[in-house]
């Protein structure tokens, strides 16, 4: 499971960092982090895919969100027993608290 998160999170972090730095032209003297490189990369992708380069960042973001739902769904599927146990403990504790509060109210209202 750790490797799944590393192999998913590494590229997502890398791509998000590159896009944010290059879109805002925070290049630190590195050409690949410049706005010019950002425009060039998306222009090349647009030419290869035959679509407008301005639509590609939105498509990539939507794909990353969809992939994130799949990854977290797989994690939830693997951890469903622990999640269910946590949920039951939480609800049992809240029902105990509600019962205690109800009995405190009934005791305080007694003459």
Task: Say if residue 100's pLDDT is above 60.
Answer: no
Question: pLDDT per residue over 19-38, tens digit each?
Answer: 999 888 888 888 888 889 99
Give the whole-number percent of the chain exceeding pLDDT 70: 83
Quote the tokens at residue 28.
Answer: 């630190």
Would you state the structure tokens that stand for residue 45, as one six-digit string?
């992708």
State pTM to two decimals: 0.65
The token pair at 56 is 């590609």
Helices (H) and strands (E) in the chain, counts: 4, 0
Which range has the worst mean pLDDT, 19-23, 70-74, 80-84?
A: 80-84
- Taking residues 39-52, what's their average pLDDT? 93
């Amino acid at each position: 499971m750790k490797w799944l998160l590393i192999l998913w999170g590494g590229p997502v972090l890398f791509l998000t960092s590159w896009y944010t730095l290059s879109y805002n032209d925070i290049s630190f003297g590195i050409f690949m982090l410049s706005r010019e490189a950002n425009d060039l990369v998306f222009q090349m992708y647009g030419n290869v895919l035959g679509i407008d380069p301005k639509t590609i960042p939105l498509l990539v973001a939507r794909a990353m969100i969809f992939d994130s739902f799949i990854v977290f769904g797989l994690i939830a599927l693997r951890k469903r027993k622990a999640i269910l146990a946590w949920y039951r403990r939480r609800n049992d504790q809240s029902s105990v608290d509600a019962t205690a509060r109800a009995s405190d109210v009934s005791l305080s209202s007694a003459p």
